[in-house]
Each structure stands twice: as structure tokens, then as C-alpha cells.
Amino acid sequence: MAARHIAVRLALLVCITVMPLIVCALALVWWVDGSAAGGAALILTLGVSLAVAQAYGRAIMRELDENARSEQIEHELRERAETQKAAAEAADRNKDFFLAMVSHELRAILTAVIGWLEIARAHTEDRATVARAVDIALRNARQQTRMMDDLLDVSRILSGQFVLELRPVNLSRLAREAVEAARPSAVDRNVKLLLSIQEPLFVEGDRGRLLQAIGNLIGNGIKFNQPGGRVELALERSAGNARLIIADNGAGIDAAALPHVFERYWQGEAAKTHRRRGLGLGLALVRHIVELHGGDVQVESGGRGKGARFTIELPLIVGAEAAEPQPSEECGEPRLNGLAIVAVDRNEDTLEWLQYLLAMHGAMTWKAHSAAEALDLVGREHADVLIADVVEVDDGYTLVAALRAACAHRRVAAVAFSSLPSEKEWRRAFAAGYDSFIAKPCDPYALVRAISDAALRRTT
């Protein structure tokens, strides 16, 4: 670039100084003697001067074009760098805010759990106080579990491991279940739940994920409402789709905020001032679940204080009544009467809880802290079921293979109890030979059901 500038400057110098002098000299000679040779020389010199000037002009234009392009590129690079810097700074601020929010939420929940359990311990003779303390601690612990599940689901989405198990689902029945599951929370906040279903409607979907999406919307309607408010769920048929509407008369959403409500980590002003709990993940998960089902979700609101209305549309399937799995006819909780169970985990508190829980359901449970101890107990006590934390136990995945080899003459059910509730871990556990997979933490009923079903499959 420097050499080019020097050449251009030299050409300019020649044109400005040398050529005019030569032209003037030749013109003087021609004027003095008037010879034809002088005139020809003058014309030739003028032609050369014009050619040089034209070449110089083209060089100048090329240089100007190149300079303009260079300046444009430099400008675009500067703008891009500034944009990337601003985006990085915004992402860093969002990360810091999100981590602070997670810390705040977890601390708030744990404060309630620890505080009320301390009250229960200090008032063991006051049954009403103990019962209230346990209820509050349990409700907060379940809320923390839902929060951790949301975080794990976002991780699955980002890693491409969020998958669905599709089958015919009675959306009418599912809507009723979602409302009944949310009723205790609604009663606690004095919010009325209303349900309107015109007819049974079936969709192809993942039952658990659809229940999660509907439950999130109902839960938001309850959480962002005032005592005496209402949340309405309506299910109707609409042009080949099942339309599910969840409407409330609660806090409402500003018009400027409506385009952002389904964004991951996005929260409104209420969340920023910590008046409402949450991590800004629930609605993002709702949208992802609905879109994976080939559906659509929209939100409407008249503004702050005027409630919100969420509409989910899912493709209908026809003639699915016979294909839908029917609920079990068995009433009440499953029983484990007479089962001998070996539980292996490195956490003593978890083992004691399992022993107490399973005893409540009629089972005899032995505790083990390693794979070798577990195998010894299974053989010595003629256990029917092995429940193992495949993460806490160093060789939890090879344990089940050793179990099959050691008990080839009889059928022993194996249940994986894991603190890594991912699709990858689920598949790995079943590939290793486990009969069932339960994620920590879990609902006690679900754990007992999984053990009962695994034991039943091993004896049939």
C-alpha cells in the first residue's frame, strides 16, 4: 500500500512539474522557428501528457475506490466488534442476574424449609404446628424440585437431548388431571379453578410433557393472581385442532412485554424486584414442548392488572380412544407386601429414608453402601428387588450385570435410582439391564410404584 502511494505521488509530480515545462519549451521552439517538426513534437508531447494524466486519473480513482472499500470494511469490522462486545457484555450481565436469581430462589426456599423444620422440632408436642411446618417445608421442597427440573430441561434442550415419547393422549382427561394437581396450590392462595370441556379430544403426544406444559400455565395463573381471583381452563375443537385455553384475571402483562414472555430467562418487572418466584424458564419450556408436538402457543393480555390468556393448539388425531393406554384399575397406593429389597447408596440419610418408606408399604429392606456389599446381601437374604443409585455407587452400571450372573437361577428385579435424570442416563440404565429408572428426587408414590411394577415384571 505504501509503494502504491509513492508511485501515485511520483506520477502526480511528473504531471504537475515536468510535463508542463516540456510543453512550454516545445511551444516556445515552435513559436520561434514555426517548423513542422516543432509542431509535431508539441502535439506528441501534449498526447503523452494527456495519456499520463488519464493513467494518473485512473490510478487515483482506483486508489479512492480501494480506500473507500477499506474504510467501509474497517467501519463494518468496528461495528461488528462493538456489537459483539455489547452482546457479550449483555450476556455476562444476564448470566450474573440469572445466577443471582437462582441463588435468591434457592436461599428463599431453603430458608422456609429449614425455618419451619426447626419450628417443628421445637414444638414436637403441638401436633397442629408440626403438621403445618411439615406441609410448608414439603411444599417448598417440591417447588425447589420443579425449579431444578426446569434447569435440567433447559440443559436437555440446549444439548439436543430433549425428546418425546409419543402415543395417543386423551387431552380431556389430561386437562382434568392438571387442574386437580394444581388445586391444592389454588386453595392455598384462595384462587378459584374452573374447567370447561366440550368433548373428549385426542392428540399424539408425550403425556408427561403435555401435563408439564399445561401445569406450568395453570401454575402461573395461580401465582400471578390475587386472593379471590380465578383461573379458567377450557378445551374445545377448532378446525382439526384441539384448542386449550388457560385464562386468568390476575396481574396481566404489559403490551411491550408480550413479545418476550416465551424467551428463555426473560422475566417481567415483578421478578426483577423479587416479588414473584421463578427463573423465567417455565414459559420457554411450554413453547418448546408445544412446538415439538407440532402445535402453537400464543398469549394475550389487556395490560397490567387485566389478566392473561394463553392458547395452545395441537393437531387432533381421530379414532384414538382404543389406542390410548387405559388407567390402572387398582385403587390406592401400591403395596410391597413380603418383598425383600436391598438398597445401595453412599448417602446414609437416603438409605434410612428408603428403609422407612418401603417398610411403610410392607417390604423388608437391607442397606448397602457398595456394590460388593449389595451383591452379598442379595444372595444372603434372597432379595426380590435391588434398588441402586447408579451414580453414587462407583460401578452402578456393572452392578446389574454382576447381579444377573450371580442370580441366574432366579429373577431379581433391579431399579436404577439416579441423581442424573437425563435421557442419556435413562437409556444407559436400561441398556445395562435395569428394569426401571427413577430420578432423584421423586414422589414416594412413584418410587413405590416403580419397585412394585419391576418386581411384578420379574415374576411374570
SS (H, E, C) 238-282: ECCEEEEEEEECCCCCCCCCHHHCCCCCCCCHHHHCCCCCCCCCH
Q: Which residue has the higher pLDDT, 12 or 396?
A: 396
**Distance separating alpha carbons of residues 298 and 301, to the nearest angstrom:** 10
Sequence spans of domains, the chain: 95-159, 167-315, 340-458
Give bridge partners of residue 439 from the DSSP assignment. 418
In percent, the amount of the chain with pLDDT more than 90 equals 13
Q: Tell which residue, 153, 405, 165, has the closest CA to residue 284.
A: 153
Q: Which residues contact 262 (CB under 8 A, 6 or more apart)?
A: 283, 284, 286, 287, 297, 299
Which range, of 52-61, 259-268, 374-383, averages the lowest pLDDT?
52-61
C-alpha cell of residue 83: 456489537
Question: Residue 61's CB: how many other CB atoms inside 10 A?
Answer: 10
Q: Please give the CATH number for the structural domain made up of 95-159.
A: 1.10.287
Domains 167-315 and 340-458 share a fold: no
Q: How many residues does the chain have?
A: 460
Burial class (CB in 10 A: 0-12, 13-18, 19+), 356: exposed
C-alpha cell of residue 261: 414472555
pLDDT of 256 strictly over 50: yes
Ranges of beta strands (E only) in 268-424 are 296-300, 308-315, 340-344, 364-368, 385-388, 413-418
Q: Which residue has the higher pLDDT, 91 or 411?
A: 411
Domain 340-458: CATH class, spelled out: alpha beta
Quickly state the pLDDT bin for 322 (edges 50, 70, 90).
Answer: very low
pLDDT of 46 strictly over 70: no
Please give the full DSSP string across 176-215, using - where no structure is assigned: HHHHHHHHHHHHHTT-EEEEEE-S--EEEE-HHHHHHHHH
Q: Residues 364, 341: contact at Cβ < 8 Å?
A: yes
**Residue-wise pLDDT tens digits, 325-337:** 544 444 455 678 8
**Distance separating alpha carbons of residues 380 and 31, to the nearest angstrom:** 130
Q: Which CATH superfamily is domain 167-315 in?
A: Histidine kinase-like ATPase, C-terminal domain (3.30.565.10)
Q: Tell which residue, 403, 439, 395, 446, has the closest CA to residue 419.
A: 439
Which range, of 241-250, 305-314, 332-341, 344-353, averages the lowest pLDDT?
332-341
pTM comes to: 0.59
**What does the mean pLDDT of the chain come to?**
78
Q: Residues 253, 267: contact at Cβ < 8 Å?
A: no
